[in-house]
């Protein structure tokens, strides 16, 4: 009886392959995955012992295929977790090291010193324009000066900062557009 049952299951799998693949595709979400699982099911049937009495060969094959898919997901899940941990251990840390942190702190302290060298008005215009992104016409209204005078003050502040940092001065005025101008 066992050989007959296994032969029947193999025959049903071969004859109704397209129907089984279609049903598994809907359940598994991928035609390729359904094909792989049906292939695994075929191999499983060749290495399987007595399945006992099978009332519905199609139901038995579908349940076997879904069980194999679940087992595969579990195995791959464990393997993926192991691979993810390994990948995380191999990742390069982009966080600045101690030497870069020290240099960054030194540059910030120097910038604070350079900003302190500016007059209060120039410092206010520079910070409002470059850090807060406020348009020069709004800065001028807020400070009670003309827009042209705000431009002159901004230009002078930028020139001072550029000189202190040893860089060429910017020629663009108005609010920052995401690029640093110092």
Sorted by where each starts, the structural domains of the chain and their CATH numbers stand as: 2-90 (no CATH), 99-165 (1.10.10.10)
- Alpha helices (runs of H) in the chain, residue ranges in sequence order: 2-15, 17-28, 31-46, 57-90, 98-117, 120-126, 136-143, 147-165
Residue 119 confidence (pLDDT): 94
Enter the pTM of the model.
Answer: 0.43
Residue 180 binned pLDDT confidence (cut-offs 50, 70, 90): very low
Distance CA 83, CA 80 (A): 5
Distance linking the first and last C-alpha atoms of the chain: 86
Distance CA 171, CA 150 (A): 14
Distance CA 65, CA 62 (A): 5
pLDDT tens string 5-37: 788 888 888 899 999 999 999 988 889 999 999
Residue with tokens 């600045």: 96
DSSP state at residue 81: H
Closest CA relative to residue 64, chosen from 75, 74, 54 = 54
pLDDT tens string 122-165: 999 999 998 889 999 999 999 999 999 999 999 999 999 999 98
Residue with tokens 């302190």: 116
Q: What is the mean pLDDT of the chain?
A: 83
């Amino acid at each position: 009886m066992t050989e007959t049952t296994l032969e029947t299951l193999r025959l049903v799998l071969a004859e109704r392959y397209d129907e089984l693949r279609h049903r598994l595709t809907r359940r598994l979400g991928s035609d390729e995955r359904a094909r792989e699982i049906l292939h695994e099911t075929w191999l499983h049937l060749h290495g399987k012992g007595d399945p006992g009495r099978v009332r519905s060969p199609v139901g038995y094959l579908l349940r076997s295929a879904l069980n194999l898919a679940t087992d595969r997901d579990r195995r791959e899940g464990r393997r993926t977790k192991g691979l993810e941990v390994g990948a995380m251990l191999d990742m390069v840390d982009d966080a600045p090291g101690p030497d870069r942190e020290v240099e960054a702190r030194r540059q910030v302290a120097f910038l604070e010193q350079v900003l302190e060298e500016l007059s209060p008005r120039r410092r206010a215009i520079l910070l409002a324009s470059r850090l807060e992104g406020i348009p020069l016409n709004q800065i001028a209204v807020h400070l009670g000066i003309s827009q042209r005078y705000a431009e002159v003050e901004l230009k002078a502040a930028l020139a001072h900062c550029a000189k202190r940092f040893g860089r060429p001065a910017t020629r663009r005025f108005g609010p920052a557009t995401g690029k640093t101008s110092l």
